[in-house]
Copies of this chain bind each other. A is one copy, B any other.
Amino acid sequence: MTQRPSSGARRPTLRDVARVAGVHPATASRALNAHTRDVVHADTVRRVEEAARALDYRPDQLARSLKTGRSGTIGVVLPDLTNPVFPPIVRGIEDGLVPAGYVPLIGNTDTDEEREQLVLDRLQGRQVDGIIVATAKRHHPRLLEIASAGVPVVLVNRVIDGNRLPSVSVNDASGILAVVDHLVGLGHRRIAHVAGPQDLSTGFGRYAGYRSGLESAGLDMDPDLVVFADSFSEAAGFRGATELLRRARPLSAIIAANDMLALGCLRALAGVGLSCPRDVSVVGFNDMPFVDRVSPALTTVRLPHYEVGTHAATLVLERIADPTGPVKALFLTPELVARDSTAPPPGLRRLGAGRTASTRRHSRVGAASTLPAEDAD
């Protein structure tokens, strides 16, 4: 008594194909399946294929999944898709997954614990064969739980403490180290840091990079030069930079823990009439689409977004194939991209002051969204 949509005949099933081809459904199934095709006679295969084509038959993935136990879907958990770092990552994931017959199922958490639980519940309910997570916190029991229930979990961008889950990310500390070197090379000595949330590996690692960068440059750490942002958002960056300026210590450069924060810093500087890079240099992290188009074009640390996605896809597929294999943590090398937001500090502005070769590539066009995009990293 299945009420089919009134319009037209119902979708053809495997039985229909079998009937037309004059064979048993099981035979039709085998004929259509690349893996089992060689068990059935070539002529029969042809007949079945013809019938399938004639009927415009499309196997029902749901039924297949139910039987095989594989849904062919991979959950992708993001803070917020409208944050510009994620689309390229998601594209990478999709492009890596689709050839293997999988499709991504995306869920946004808006950095809300509760919403994340709901998203994960939803994904598990839909029997995803694996989950790629961009919202991992350093301590994240639920993810470990899911993983130990047998569902492959792969982290992107962020890792969890202990590295017990496969992951694709960049070495945050070394990225920031390069930034400190760059700034010190330009002559900066009072370098501030708008740090990201410390419960995220990115915020934590970049702060660590900042400290060791200062140390190896022989600069000492002034607590007044560090503020902690509560999220990776432009608003938090604005607040952070404002606070730094309020403390009124001399300060010639700000390293923001990511591009969003950096944009907030730029806005804060402009708000009090300071010019970047003339008065204060600003550096971000991520090389999000479009930060090369804002003014001043942002000096930042480039992270290969798309490749992060494709690698994550590969990792999750590997893990599906062999759930007991070794846990791989893949670290891609970040790369400093010097643009126009960094320059020698005010005191040192003389002719030919050192400027590292700028690595301008990729010019892309993008634009901002309608929702608050928080918490990129």
Contacts and interface: CB of A to CB of B under 8 A. Distances in A.
Interface of A: 2, 4-8, 11, 58-63, 65-66, 69, 71-72, 80-88, 90-91, 94, 98, 103-108, 121-122, 124-127, 148-150, 233-234, 259-260, 263-264, 267, 286-295, 304-307, 323-324, 362-373
Nearest to A104: B106
Given A259-B367, A286-B367, A362-B369, 11 more contacts: A4-B150, A7-B323, A62-B126, A81-B91, A84-B366, A85-B367, A103-B107, A264-B365, A293-B368, A366-B366, A366-B373
Contact of A290 (B65, B107, B127, B290): B290
Nearest to A296: B295
A1 to B, nearest CB: 11
Count identical subunits in the complex. 2
B306 A371 contact: yes
A58 B124 contact: yes
5 contacts: A58-B124, A72-B126, A84-B289, A263-B365, A362-B369
A362 B369 CA distance: 8
Given A149-B7, A149-B8, A323-B7, A367 B58 contact: no
A63 B62 CA distance: 8
B62 A369 contact: no
Contact of A84 (B80, B84, B260): B84
**What 10 A-B pairs have minimum CB-CB distances, sorted nearest first?**
A288-B367, A364-B368, A289-B368, A5-B150, A84-B366, A289-B367, A290-B367, A88-B369, A289-B369, A306-B370
Best-buried of A63, A103, A107, A121 by chain B (most CB within 10 Å): A103
Contact of A368 (B81, B108, B291, B295): B291
A149 B367 CA distance: 37
A293 B292 contact: no
A91 B369 CA distance: 10
A134 to B, nearest CB: 14
A28 to B, nearest CB: 16
Nearest to A258: B365
A61 B127 contact: yes
A62 B71 contact: yes
Given A88-B82, A94-B108, A293-B290, A362 B367 contact: no
A66 B63 contact: yes
Contacts of A11: 149
B366 A369 contact: yes
Contact of A234 (B69, B286, B324, B364): B364
A369 B305 contact: yes
A307 B371 CA distance: 11
A355 to B, nearest CB: 20
Contacts of A126: 61-62, 72, 103
